[in-house]
């Protein structure tokens, strides 16, 4: 990266963006992540309140952050293709990315000197648009696509980057599902970065700086902004609504449910190559929604299709949002109160050999489509231990117009599967066990 060339300018490792905050901070309520409490004195009636949305999430750990971290409000997701075929470039990229992600997640600039220190005659190491912003719950999570392990194009029959024998069996291409209309430019990728934060500027800053660091080694394949989380992933969170106007994620795995997290999220010992133990598989699906058509469906139809009421989110079999779904109850018309082809029934573990997912998706709007309509939908993200038994099982139940009633209003245009390595220690880097 940048070599300091000016004498007298000392490096400031770990320069905190928060040090640059004025007394006003970033709004009256966001007093930064550390400290807090009440102002002492006679006059100030206003308390100093620590905004939990501004706080940092630890980077190092047994698992990567951003999986069982309660879902933040905003997303910027990107996948990358390697533009170098050198093993050393892949290793150095992962090392550089890990160092930068560790710094940014704690609210620090990238690099030794950051955005405004170092030589004035070299490009700044950090692009600077997050200066003054708190960590904002930023997590940066990496995943590896199947193509990273594929046989290289040189006719040698060996895997790219010397990764022979490291491809997990479960890292297969996802099968085609009925109704898919995939745009290959919105699918797959050698590498994936999921940046989640409570401030979109912080998530954008993170991806942008990783893109910049990758230059000459990897470049962006596609990227997606998500403006609002559409799944509840913690018992402490209010269930948000998707763009169909329904609560989403009521029955999602909650990060507090340790048993489900262990059974359904993390890869265990002897389930593939050792480097992935403690990791997880990430499925991403870009799902466009025909919201204009949906908006013409009567309330009764919308609720029948989903299997939940629009107001409370309670199942159409009765009860409040968290009531147990009763698939046996019949309505006054003698039909099941939860329609046989309702989304909630077809996606339910009872009809999918017990399969559950940890969903972490986001609503998106990409502008308009030239037909006078909005280009809107759900960027579906789900973590799991075994894609075949979990996402593929459930999506096979849902896909196709003969199945989930909701499919009339959905078009899947992007798809990918990534193997996300476990977390790292303070001296480790993402995927380091791949290269030992």
Q: Is position 317 an interface residue for its own copies (rule: CB under 8 A)?
A: no
Among 242, 250, 317, 395, binds its own copies (CB under 8 A): 242
Q: How far apart are CA 53 and CA 327, in angstroms?
A: 38
Cβ neighbours of residue 191 closer than 8 Å, sequence gap 6 or more: 79, 80, 81, 82, 142, 143, 144, 145, 148, 218
User: What's the closest the beta carbon of residue 105 comes to its own copies, in angstroms?
Assistant: 19
Contact 116, 6 (CB under 8 A): no
User: What's the closest the beta carbon of residue 118 comes to its own copies, in angstroms?
Assistant: 7
Stretch 82-111 residues interacting with its own copies (CB under 8 A): 83
User: What's the closest the beta carbon of residue 331 comes to its own copies, in angstroms?
Assistant: 12
Q: Is position 243 an interface residue for its own copies (rule: CB under 8 A)?
A: yes
Q: Is position 367 an interface residue for its own copies (rule: CB under 8 A)?
A: yes
Closest C-alpha to 93, from 13, 204, 211: 211
Residue-wise burial string across 239-276, b where 16 or more C-beta atoms lie within 10 A, e elsewhere: bbbbbbebbbbbbbbbbebeeebeebbbbeeeebbebb
Sign for the CA dihedral angle at 412, 413, 419, 420 comes to negative
Stretch 61-80 residues interacting with its own copies (CB under 8 A): 74, 76, 78
Stretch that binds its own copies, among 90-98, 172-180, 305-313, 341-349 (CB under 8 A): 305-313
Q: Is position 11 an interface residue for its own copies (rule: CB under 8 A)?
A: no
Lookup: tokens for 123: 């490009």
Q: Binding residues for its own copies, how many (CB under 8 A)?
A: 85
Q: Is position 324 an interface residue for its own copies (rule: CB under 8 A)?
A: no
Stretch that binds its own copies, among 57-65, 195-203, 343-351, 397-405 (CB under 8 A): 195-203
Q: Is position 194 an interface residue for its own copies (rule: CB under 8 A)?
A: no
Expressed in angstroms, the distance from the first to the final Cα of the chain is: 25
Q: Which residues pair with 364 in a beta bridge?
A: 377
Contact 134, 18 (CB under 8 A): yes
Q: Is position 201 an interface residue for its own copies (rule: CB under 8 A)?
A: yes
User: What's the closest the beta carbon of residue 209 comes to its own copies, in angstroms?
Assistant: 9
Stretch that binds its own copies, among 21-29, 96-104, 275-283, 346-354 (CB under 8 A): 21-29
Q: Considering the complex, state which of residue 59 and residue 246 has its C-beta at the smaller distance from its own copies.
A: 246
Q: How far apart are CA 216 and CA 83, in angstroms?
A: 7
Among 4, 25, 179, 349, binds its own copies (CB under 8 A): 25
Sign for the CA dihedral angle at 59, 64, 67, 73 comes to positive
**Burial (0-12, 13-18, 19+ Cβ within 10 Å), 293:** exposed
Stretch that binds its own copies, among 155-163, 176-184, 204-212, 396-404 (CB under 8 A): 204-212
Residue 324 burial (CB count, 10 A): 9
Q: Considering the complex, state which of residue 125 and residue 432 has its C-beta at the smaller distance from its own copies.
A: 125
Q: Is position 1 an interface residue for its own copies (rule: CB under 8 A)?
A: no
Q: Considering the complex, state which of residue 317 and residue 352 has its C-beta at the smaller distance from its own copies.
A: 317
Among 33, 68, 115, 392, binds its own copies (CB under 8 A): 115
Q: What phi, psi does 252 have (nearest 5°)?
A: -65, 155
Q: Is position 131 an interface residue for its own copies (rule: CB under 8 A)?
A: yes
């Amino acid at each position: 990266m940048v070599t300091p060339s000016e004498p007298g300018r000392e490096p400031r490792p770990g320069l905190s963006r928060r040090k640059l905050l004025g007394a006003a901070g970033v709004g009256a309520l966001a007093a930064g992540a550390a400290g807090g409490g009440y102002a002492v004195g006679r006059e100030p009636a206003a308390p100093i309140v620590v905004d939990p949305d501004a706080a940092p999430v630890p980077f190092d750990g047994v698992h990567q952050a951003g999986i069982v971290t309660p879902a933040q409000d905003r997303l910027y997701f990107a996948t990358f293709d390697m533009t170098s075929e050198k093993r050393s470039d892949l290793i150095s990229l992962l090392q550089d990315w890990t160092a930068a992600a560790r710094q940014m997640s704690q609210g620090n600039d990238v690099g030794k000197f950051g955005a405004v220190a170092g030589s004035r005659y070299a490009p700044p190491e950090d692009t600077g648009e997050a200066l003054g912003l708190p960590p904002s719950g930023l997590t940066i999570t990496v995943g590896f696509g199947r193509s990273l392990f594929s046989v290289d194009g040189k006719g040698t029959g060996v895997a790219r980057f010397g990764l022979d024998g490291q491809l997990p069996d479960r890292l297969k291409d996802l099968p085609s599902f009925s109704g898919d209309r995939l745009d290959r430019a919105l699918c797959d990728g050698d590498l994936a970065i999921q940046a989640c934060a409570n401030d979109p500027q912080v998530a954008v800053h993170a991806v942008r700086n990783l893109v910049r660091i990758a230059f000459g080694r990897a470049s962006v394949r596609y990227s997606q902004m998500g403006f609002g989380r559409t799944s509840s992933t913690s018992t402490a969170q209010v269930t948000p609504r998707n763009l169909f106007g329904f609560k989403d994620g009521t029955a999602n795995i909650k990060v507090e449910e340790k048993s489900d997290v262990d059974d359904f999220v993390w890869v265990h010992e002897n389930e593939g190559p050792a480097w992935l133990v403690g990791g997880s598989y990430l499925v991403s699906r870009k799902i466009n929604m025909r919201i204009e058509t949906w908006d013409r469906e009567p309330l009764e139809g919308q609720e029948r299709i989903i299997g939940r009421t629009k107001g409370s989110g309670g199942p159409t079999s009765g009860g409040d949002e968290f009531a147990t779904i009763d698939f046996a109850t019949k309505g006054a018309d003698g039909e099941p109160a939860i329609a046989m082809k309702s989304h909630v029934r077809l996606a339910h573990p009872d009809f999918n050999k017990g399969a559950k997912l940890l969903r972490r998706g986001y609503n998106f709007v990409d502008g308009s489509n030239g037909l006078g309509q909005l280009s809107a939908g759900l960027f579906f993200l789900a973590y799991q231990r075994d894609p075949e038994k979990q996402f593929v099982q459930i999506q096979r139940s849902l896909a196709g117009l003969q199945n989930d009633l909701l499919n009339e209003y959905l078009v899947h245009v992007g798809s990918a599967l990534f193997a996300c390595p476990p977390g790292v220690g303070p001296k480790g880097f993402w995927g380091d066990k791949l290269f030992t």
